[in-house]
């Protein structure tokens, strides 16, 4: 396995990440990995590594306003970042330009749906614990609490949150953007792509009932997998391994050389 630093530009902001690739000569089938809010600081380990071991080249990066990337976080900005990431993946010498996949977790899943509703590229999409309704999520009291908690414990996760004015701007922009970009309204537009939604029985932050409503609105080429004992952060090791294996096996099946 190889880990190769990379970066690309989105609306003038530098987005930084890595290509995680198999050993040997490429090009390889490529997958973009979209993190949640804020997602974990280790963007290379876990699924990116497992997918690389299975033969995929994975572009994993921090969206604007998170950790190593420039800018301030907004949903509308992330959607633009997602489209630029797909371009960066497909134009790389490390990847094939004939096939691509997206793995997206939590808030990143909402970004993926809204980006792909406007972008016909990408053949296979896997959404884990998806934020199915961005407006419900953005207006939830847990969001302000989560941002305040990140500020108090590790403000480096989200750029600018140490500034109270920027924190308020981020929270208000989430609601404003969510009124325009909502997975519930966009999921039917990605019906041409094959889809896997995977969710856990113990995810108390993202209700399973909402995930099922999102699934019902999707196209016909779709699968829904419910993992017993999986919470939002996959803190149970058994549920983590089941989820990782399910995702890797699904992408392997969908990749058709």
> Can you give the chain as a three-state secondary structure string?
CEEEEEEEEECCEEEEEEEEECCCCCCEEEEEEECCCCCCCCCCCCHHHHHHHCCCEEEEECCCCECCCCCCCCHHHHHHHHHHHHHHHHHCCCEEEEEEEEEEECHHHHHHHHHHCCCCCCCEEEEECCCCCHHHHHHCHHHHHHHHHHHHHHHHHECCCCCHHHHHHHHHHHHHHHCCCCHHHHHHHHCCCEEEEEEECCCCCCCHHHHHHHHHHCCCCEEEEEECCCCCCCCCHHHHHHHHHHHHHHHHHHCCC
CATH number at residue 82: 3.40.50.1820
Q: Would residue 117 count as lying in a domain?
A: yes
Which residues span the domain enclosing 228? 2-134+183-254
Q: Would residue 118 count as lying in a domain?
A: yes
* Spatial distance between the Cα atoms of 183 and 202, rounded to a whole number of angstroms: 22
Number of domains, the chain? 1
Q: What is the pLDDT of residue 152?
A: 84
Q: Would residue 163 count as lying in a domain?
A: no
Nearest Cα to Cα of residue 128 among 229, 31, 225, 249? 225
Q: Would residue 159 count as lying in a domain?
A: no
Q: Would residue 160 count as lying in a domain?
A: no
Nearest Cα to Cα of residue 221 among 192, 186, 249? 192
Q: What is the pLDDT of residue 40?
A: 85
Nearest Cα to Cα of residue 182 among 148, 161, 213? 213
Q: Would residue 123 count as lying in a domain?
A: yes
Q: What is the pLDDT of residue 106?
A: 96
Q: What is the pLDDT of residue 165?
A: 92
Q: What is the pLDDT of residue 50?
A: 96
Q: What is the pLDDT of residue 75?
A: 97
Q: Would residue 243 count as lying in a domain?
A: yes
Q: Do the beta carbons of residue 125 and residue 116 sit within 8 Å? A: yes
C-alpha angle 118-75-88 in degrees, rounded to nearest 5: 55
Q: What is the pLDDT of residue 257?
A: 65
Nearest Cα to Cα of residue 20 among 5, 40, 2, 35? 2
Q: Would residue 145 count as lying in a domain?
A: no
Q: What is the pLDDT of residue 42?
A: 85
Q: Which residues of the chain have pLDDT under 70?
A: 257
Write the pLDDT tens digit of every residue in 67-118: 999 999 999 999 999 999 999 999 999 999 899 999 999 999 999 999 999 9
Q: What is the pLDDT of residue 256?
A: 76
Q: What is the pLDDT of residue 147?
A: 83
């Amino acid at each position: 396995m190889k880990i190769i630093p990379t970066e690309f530009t989105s609306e003038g902001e530098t987005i930084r990440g890595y290509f995680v690739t198999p050993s040997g000569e490429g090009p390889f089938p490529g997958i973009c990995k979209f993190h949640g809010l804020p997602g974990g600081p280790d963007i290379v380990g876990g699924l990116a590594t497992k997918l690389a071991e299975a033969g995929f080249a994975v572009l994993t990066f921090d969206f604007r306003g998170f950790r190593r990337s420039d800018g301030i976080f907004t949903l509308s900005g992330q959607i633009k970042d997602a489209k630029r990431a797909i371009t960066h993946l497909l134009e790389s010498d490390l990847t094939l330009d004939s096939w691509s996949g997206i793995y997206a977790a939590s808030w990143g899943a909402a970004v993926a749906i809204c980006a792909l509703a406007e972008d016909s590229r990408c053949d296979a999409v896997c959404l884990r614990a998806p934020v199915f309704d961005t407006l419900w999520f953005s207006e939830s009291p847990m969001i302000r609490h989560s941002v305040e908690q990140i500020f108090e414990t590790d403000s480096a996760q989200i750029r600018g949150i140490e500034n109270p004015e920027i924190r308020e701007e981020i929270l208000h922009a989430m609601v404003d953007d969510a009124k325009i970009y909502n997975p519930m309204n966009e999921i039917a537009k990605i019906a041409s792509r094959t889809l896997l939604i995977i969710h856990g029985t113990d995810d108390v932050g993202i209700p399973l009932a909402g995930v099922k409503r999102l699934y019902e609105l999707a196209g016909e080429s779709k699968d829904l997998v419910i993992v017993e004992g999986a919470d939002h952060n996959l803190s149970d090791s058994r549920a983590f391994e089941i989820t990782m294996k399910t995702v890797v096996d699904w992408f392997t099946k969908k990749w058709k050389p």
